[in-house]
Structure 1
Amino acid sequence: MTSIQEADVQRARADTPGCSEVVHFNNAGSSLPPARVTETVIEHLRAESVKGGYEAAADVAERLDGVYVSLARLLNAQAEDIAITDSATRSWQSIFYALGFGAGDRILTCRSEYASNAIAYLQVARRTGATVEVVDDDESGQLDVADLRRRLDGRVKLIAVTHVPTQGGLVNPAEEIGEVAAAAGIPFLLDACQSAGQLDLDVQRIRCDALSVTGRKYLRGPRGTGFHYVRPELRDSLEPAMLDLHSAQWVSPTEYELNPTAKRFESWERDFAAMLGLGVAVDYALDWGLSAIDERVSALAATLRTRLGELSGVRVHDQGARRCGIVTFSVASTPAAEVKTRLSEARINTSVSSRSSAQYDFTARELPDMIRASVHYFNTEDEVDLLVREVEKLA
């Protein structure tokens, strides 16, 4: 599919029961799943209840293996380079905490970095004596690749960047960052939890060494699911901070061997129902086509930004040379929390982005708490109109 037409939008909405209940502009938080995702999860839970958990999992062993193939196809990777976890955070952490930092090591990140990642940097810096440095933004508000290049030396141990931040529609230049990292031989960890499912991701093109994803956001999968890609050259050099009998094999009373695939970053116990649901969600996105989704989402978000920007007393805060489906704004006369509440009363779902989620960016730009309205391809122009009318009442 080269583009998503009106008939396609109506089909997507018919596949999504939640569309008849709410106007959902919180897809960067947790999107509305297609009915087939929910039905898959429920079907497996029912099978567990009557067959037993181990037996139900054995019955769908081939389908579970197929989930890895689907996730690899989404990222243009190999199935053995994919690990499935319970969240993007868990996926990201399993790579970061396996890297091993020491005194004087430097971690380079972006100003738009997310709280969970930044807290991990600070913890490791406190433990080891490593330092955390925030790369400057360029004039568009995205990471300044020239400044990144200037900062490189033999002490830089990691370049870690959030692709799409939680607090705006910015898309950081991942491919350019990957080119710089690869040329310098420095590991590049990309947090793609907000971009997977709305942008077409190709780890070969991006040249990242690791990439983490959640299922619940733009991929429209179940909560409690996440996965990551690890380039084999990096994977083979890492031992995860925690191991069990799935991530490693106990080969003698005094020895163990790591799983040779990315499954060394997994644990034995997992939610198989949610895992199957994740696979269905990814296949559903692939059927639509990520380029078509990107085109639809970006256009709808651009319309929303323009419409909100025309309202007196409303300020749109998104930056970047390229922007995606997240739109952040504030209303001068009304606190963000109250705006969210009033929109919820009109059955419009949004969320609030606050300083505690992105201290570097909020501090540098002196941002207020913002409303985040994140669109998806099943949203409509009429829903955009409704959101704008409700915001206008509060301006």
Structure 2
Amino acid sequence: MLSNKDIARLRAETDGVQHVIHFNNAGSALPPNVVRDTVIDYWKQESLLGGYEIQAQRANELDETYYSLARLINAQKEEIAIVENATSAWNAAFQAIDWQEGDEIICNRPDYASNYLAYLHHPKKPKVKVIPTTASGDEDLEAFEKMINSRTKLVSITHIPTNSGHVAPAEQIGSICRSRNILFLLDACQSVGQYPVDVEKIKCDMLSATGRKYLRAPRGTGFLYVRKEILPQLTPYVVDLHSATWTGEQTYTIRTDARKFENWEGNRANQLGLKAAADYAHAIGLEAIWHRIQALALEVRKGFRQMPHVHCHDEGSLLAGIVSFTVSGHSAAQVQQYLLKEGINVSWNGTPNTYLDMTAKGLSEIVRVCVHYYNTEEEVSKLLELLQKLK
């Protein structure tokens, strides 16, 4: 657990908390100072010495980014590819699968728009099945098992969605997929950095993640994990001189590690910022982070239950740090702007972000309060006081 002294230290290491109450961590979290300074320091050196030259000088440090990310999710560095965002990571894995006519995908109801659009857009037009939910809002695992058949090519699960604090039972789903020898792709965009993600426990074959959200890394960073046993089965949709070697007029070879999903060019300053963020989270401890986030989110939900005009829309037996709600008589954008004028950052999204889940709940939009460990109980109290006045 994080003590009050720990929280004070972490806030002292984040200059942004002196300027704003930031509850938009599922959008883009405030970076710790060490991440900011790491990026600026590298960029300054690049501007003085040259991009290729400073990359060569700091090659070992850059390479250690793969170790830092692997350690964070209990993987191996050869299973990590660094890309520019979670959608790029997810698509790199999805497009690398050998899709055939008649293949089927199983996903969950809160699946993210970019993922579902990829299913619809794929030229092979795989059939998409959606796991039904129980009365509590959890994925119905018994129904899920019955949905698997000989045509099931992929199980694609959004771990924590963009529109609520729901946490999918990834470990149980992973065990079922492994027992049935079905590929399992986990969208961990909102979970890496807040939930103690362990790819060995989850048993996912592929995992996509971003840097800017709960991991507190720079925008424009993300990574892909691919289990080493699965790597030979996946062929990158795009290759270049980094991911492949041109060996003859009509021949080439593709890398055998996860970096076959990377491009040659990349933002090296941001890469080191991503490393610094992963190391920072590891030093705090993901279990401690997860406990803190859940505790703060619980306080928000408790406060909402005391306000008849505020309606919380999170479902499931396990809830994370994204708290989704609406306020009677006010649009989501109006609520966001009201809080912004009071120095509080929140965000909102609408039906197109998670179409299946939003329509199933009868919602067209929600506001998100997304707490992080550096937020305080006093900040939560101020949020609740302001929303109490918004009648």
* TM category, shorter: over 0.9
In the TM superposition, 1:19-58 aligns within 5 A as 19-58=17-56
Partners of 2:331 and 2:134 in 1: how far apart?
Answer: 29
Letter in 2 for 1:117: N
2:334 is aligned to: 338
Partners of 1:308 and 1:288 in 2: how far apart?
Answer: 29
Query: Secondary structure at the residue paired with 1:232?
Result: coil
| Structure 1 contact 24–379 (Cα < 8 Å) conserved | yes
2:189 is aligned to: 193
Query: Secondary structure at the residue paired with 2:230?
Result: helix
Partners of 1:371 and 1:73 in 2: how far apart?
Answer: 33
2:78 is aligned to: 80
| Structure 1 contact 353–370 (Cα < 8 Å) conserved | yes
2:245 is aligned to: 249
Check if 1:121 corresponds to 2:123: no
| Structure 2 contact 119–125 (Cα < 8 Å) conserved | no
Shift of 1:284: 0.3
Letter in 2 for 1:31: A
1:71 is aligned to: 69
Q: Of 183, 198, 205, which residue of structure 2 is paired with 1:202?
A: 198
1:280 is aligned to: 276
Partners of 2:256 and 2:12 in 1: how far apart?
Answer: 43
Shift of 1:104: 1.2
Query: Secondary structure at the residue paired with 1:171?
Result: coil
1:59 is aligned to: 57
Check if 1:293 corresponds to 2:289: yes
Segments of 4+ moved more than 2 angstroms: none
Partner deviation per Cα, 1:65-92 (whole Å, 9 max, x = no partner) = 1110000000111000000000010000
Partner deviation per Cα, 1:320-357 (whole Å, 9 max, x = no partner) = 11001110110011111100000000010000021010
Number of aligned residue pairs: 391
Partners of 2:111 and 2:91 in 1: how far apart?
Answer: 15
Query: Secondary structure at the residue paired with 1:379?
Result: coil
1:168 is aligned to: 164
2:8 is aligned to: 10
Check if 1:315 corresponds to 2:311: yes
Partners of 1:244 and 1:308 in 2: how far apart?
Answer: 51
Partner deviation per Cα, 1:31-88 (whole Å, 9 max, x = no partner) = 0000110111011111111100000111111111111000000011100000000001
Shift of 1:135: 1.1
Q: Which runs of 5+ in 2 are unaligned?
A: none
Partner deviation per Cα, 1:290-342 (whole Å, 9 max, x = no partner) = 00000000011011101012112110001111001110110011111100000
Check if 1:105 corresponds to 2:110: no
Letter in 2 for 1:36: V
Letter in 2 for 1:109: C
Partners of 2:29 and 2:269 in 1: how far apart?
Answer: 18
Identity of aligned residues (%): 45
Partners of 2:266 and 2:134 in 1: how far apart?
Answer: 42
| Structure 1 contact 22–349 (Cα < 8 Å) conserved | yes
Shift of 1:132: 1.0
Partners of 1:62 and 1:130 in 2: how far apart?
Answer: 42
Check if 1:219 corresponds to 2:210: no
Q: Of 343, 357, 365, which residue of structure 2 is paired with 1:369?
A: 365
Query: Secondary structure at the residue paired with 1:243?
Result: coil
Shift of 1:166: 0.3
Partners of 1:308 and 1:140 in 2: how far apart?
Answer: 19
TM-score by length of 2: 0.99
Shift of 1:228: 1.1
| Structure 1 contact 330–368 (Cα < 8 Å) conserved | no
Shift of 1:392: 1.2
Which moved further from structure 2: 293-302 or 365-374?
365-374
Letter in 2 for 1:107: I
Query: Secondary structure at the residue paired with 1:233?
Result: coil
Partner deviation per Cα, 1:347-370 (whole Å, 9 max, x = no partner) = 100000210100000111101411
Partners of 1:352 and 1:130 in 2: how far apart?
Answer: 31
Q: Of 152, 155, 159, which residue of structure 2 is paired with 1:159?
A: 155
Check if 1:267 corresponds to 2:263: yes
Partners of 1:301 and 1:100 in 2: how far apart?
Answer: 41
2:229 is aligned to: 233
Partner deviation per Cα, 1:228-260 (whole Å, 9 max, x = no partner) = 110112111111000001001112221111111
Shift of 1:142: 2.0
TM-score by length of 1: 0.98
Partners of 2:309 and 2:94 in 1: how far apart?
Answer: 42
Partners of 1:36 and 1:232 in 2: how far apart?
Answer: 32
Partners of 2:116 and 2:19 in 1: how far apart?
Answer: 36
| Structure 2 contact 196–290 (Cα < 8 Å) conserved | yes
Q: Which runs of 5+ in 1 are unaligned?
A: none
Shift of 1:376: 0.3
- Aligned CA RMSD, in angstroms, stands at 0.8
Partners of 2:57 and 2:77 in 1: how far apart?
Answer: 21
Letter in 1 for 2:31: P
2:386 is aligned to: 390
